[in-house]
Amino acid sequence: MCGIIGIIGGKPVSRLVYHGLFSIQHRGQSSAGKLTYDGNIHVTKEAGLVRDVFNDEKKIDTSGNVGIGHTRYSTAGLDDIESLKRNAQPEYLVNPFLAAVFNGNIYNCSEMVKKTKRKPRTDSDIQWLLLPMADNLYKKELKVNAIFNACETVMHQVKGSYSALFLADSGENPFLFAMTDPYKIRPLVLGKSNGMYCIASETRVFKKINFEYVKEIPGGTVIAIDKEGNVYEKHIISKPEKPCMFEFVYFAKPDSRINGQSIHNVRVDIGRQLANEHPVEADIVVPVPESGRHYATGYTGESGIPLDEGLMKDKAERSFIQQTQETRDKVVEEGLSFLRSVLQGKRIVLVDDSIVRGTNIRKLVRGIKNAGAKQIHIRIGCPPLVAPCYLGIDMRSKKEFIARDSNGEIKTGDAIAKEIGADSLAYISMEGLQKAIGFDICRGCIDFPNGYPVEMQKDVMKLFRHDRKGIRAYECM
């Protein structure tokens, strides 16, 4: 999971890309970068947050009327600092000149390495979009049909999820173009402002840089934009779209929209469904900040149990997307305070979006108990996560899920509640989640393997069989 942005138009885009990166910082915190182009390449990328990478005006204000940017959440490569630096995006080649950023995960890397004579410079799976794309554009005049043909060839080669942006040029003819996988697993939207165009991961970017939303970029589609602001579109592969369930549950910000659906409204509806499916006698509903807030709003509205702020968040980092268990623990440990005056003597409904490894929830239950709570009833806005995601969420091994026991069997809510010291624990049902979102979704991590697109199910079963604790299966095959 990453955040991407690209802008092209009749004036310098560097500051717009920079400000847009802040709007997608939540999608990746391991590295950030941007590249602008004016006949010369101006690139800055580094491990760390946007504010740390772009720490002086020379890095922020570079020339060029076209540019791309990226915030990275690592799903390929090692997690040490040098690897995070090396795998930071944008990535580019000079023969032909082609730069790229992407959000998703290519899981047939072992096949793709055989399809090109070019050597990857990094461990990131962006190479398996960038290198074959460069092969197909090499020694060709850069025109719209050449871009469409190259994208079509690559689409039929790669397997996985991708919403990708490319910046290409041959002489005085730069193009910004985007390509989405046929199922549109990862979001991508188009906006405009005074003859300039922006393509980004989330609609909230447009609010930040004062662009107008134009449309969702459909699955299996290529959109190319030239320096005059001409927009060309070709739909290449038709499949039923299956956007990632976890985008609605966790990743996207509540002020964004996916396929016309408000993320805020979806999460409130999930909270209502939870209250109907799993009622409980309690004194207050307490959200886990900030991830559980909108779910708790729906739960309290449906149940009539009053909402109160029993927890305070002190840090902006998101624990789930930290690179190691040690840093996840540190974010949770340093990031929350417990309000004894709210919690003491109360029967608590603690509402959150999801449980993956149990890092957060164990510490929360312990902290709430220490603050004097009488009972703790946990309600979760996502069904149990039971399998790794092979399409861009870094849940690496089937052995890391709290919902699976040591024999690989799925635990009951009661068993998990006992394990973490809560009085009860209940998840929203698959049907309730689907109803709240309102259209078909990719749900492979909660309904394995049937929740994946049908043509991927054989592949993901093979990956699942190669699963080893702490190792991403698609990197060791």
Q: Which of 109, 93, 105, 37 is CA-nearest to residue 69?
A: 37
Residue with tokens 């549109």: 184
Dist CA 203 CA 23 (whole Å): 9
User: Within this chain, do residues 230 and 361 fall inside the same structural domain, yes or no?
Assistant: no
Q: What is the pLDDT of residue 1?
A: 73
- Look at residue 343 and give its three-state secondary structure: helix
- Look at residue 43 and give its three-state secondary structure: strand
Question: What's the total number of domains in the chain?
Answer: 2
CATH number at residue 469: 3.40.50.2020
Dist CA 31 CA 320 (whole Å): 16
Cis peptide before 384 (omega within 30 of 0): no
Distances (CA, A) of 58 to 17, 44, 129: 14, 10, 30
User: Within this chain, do residues 364 and 308 fall inside the same structural domain, yes or no?
Assistant: yes
User: Within this chain, do residues 188 and 334 fall inside the same structural domain, yes or no?
Assistant: no
Q: Which of 182, 215, 241 is the last residue of a domain?
A: 241
| Strands, E assignment, 227-339 | 231-235, 257-258, 261-262, 284-287, 311-313, 336-338
Cis peptide before 90 (omega within 30 of 0): yes
Q: What is the pLDDT of residue 469?
A: 60
Q: Which of 254, 341, 342, 242 is CA-nearest to residue 298?
A: 254
Pair of tokens at residue 323? 């690179």
Residue with tokens 């580019």: 92
Residue with tokens 């979760």: 380
Q: Which of 208, 224, 241 is the last residue of a domain?
A: 241
Dist CA 25 CA 404 (whole Å): 31
Pair of tokens at residue 428? 């929203």
Q: Any catalytic annotation for residue 2? A: yes
Pair of tokens at residue 343? 């919690």
Q: What is the pLDDT of residue 344?
A: 98
User: Within this chain, do residues 427 and 383 fall inside the same structural domain, yes or no?
Assistant: yes
Q: Where are the alpha helices (DSSP H) in 278-336?
A: 293-303, 325-335
User: Within this chain, do residues 47 and 195 fall inside the same structural domain, yes or no?
Assistant: yes
- Look at residue 226 and give its three-state secondary structure: strand
- Amino acid at site 311: L
Q: Which of 365, 366, 342, 347 is CA-nearest to residue 279?
A: 347
Residue 156: other Cβ atoms inside 10 A: 9
Annotated catalytic residue, options 2, 198, 244, 442 = 2
User: Within this chain, do residues 411 and 278 fall inside the same structural domain, yes or no?
Assistant: yes
Cβ atoms of residues 103 and 162 within 8 Å: yes
Q: Which of 220, 241, 262 is the last residue of a domain?
A: 241
Per-residue pLDDT of the chain (477 residues; tens, 9 = 90+): 799 999 999 999 999 999 999 999 999 999 999 999 999 999 999 999 999 999 999 999 999 999 999 999 876 556 778 888 888 999 999 999 999 999 999 999 989 999 999 999 998 999 999 999 999 999 999 999 999 999 999 999 999 999 999 999 987 789 999 999 999 999 999 999 999 999 999 999 999 999 999 999 999 999 999 999 999 999 999 999 999 999 999 999 999 999 999 999 999 999 999 999 999 999 999 999 989 999 999 999 999 999 999 999 876 654 444 444 454 455 455 578 999 999 999 999 999 999 988 988 999 999 999 999 999 999 999 999 999 999 988 777 777 899 988 888 899 999 999 999 999 999 999 999 999 999 999 999 999 999 999 999 999 999 988 876 656 555 544
Distances (CA, A) of 123 to 53, 89, 215, 459: 21, 11, 33, 21
Q: What SS3 string covers 395-435?
A: CCCHHHCCCECCCCCECCHHHHHHHHCCCEEEECCHHHHHH
Q: Which of 233, 348, 341, 327 is CA-nearest to residue 285?
A: 348
User: Within this chain, do residues 235 and 259 fall inside the same structural domain, yes or no?
Assistant: no
Helix H or strand E segment including 50: helix 50-53
For residue 306, give its domain range.
247-475
DSSP assignment letter at 78: -
Q: What is the pLDDT of residue 307?
A: 98
Q: Which of 374, 371, 365 is CA-nearest to residue 281?
A: 374
CA angle, 452 then 475 then 470, to 5°: 85
User: Within this chain, do residues 87 and 132 fall inside the same structural domain, yes or no?
Assistant: yes
User: Within this chain, do residues 62 and 155 fall inside the same structural domain, yes or no?
Assistant: yes
DSSP assignment letter at 80: S
Q: What is the pLDDT of residue 325?
A: 47
User: Within this chain, do residues 182 and 275 fall inside the same structural domain, yes or no?
Assistant: no
User: Within this chain, do residues 183 and 262 fall inside the same structural domain, yes or no?
Assistant: no
CATH number at residue 229: 3.60.20.10
Q: What is the pLDDT of residue 172?
A: 77
Q: What is the pLDDT of residue 177?
A: 98
Q: What is the pLDDT of residue 335?
A: 73
User: Within this chain, do residues 282 and 407 fall inside the same structural domain, yes or no?
Assistant: yes
Residue 341: other Cβ atoms inside 10 A: 9
Dist CA 40 CA 34 (whole Å): 14
Cβ atoms of residues 24 and 4 within 8 Å: yes
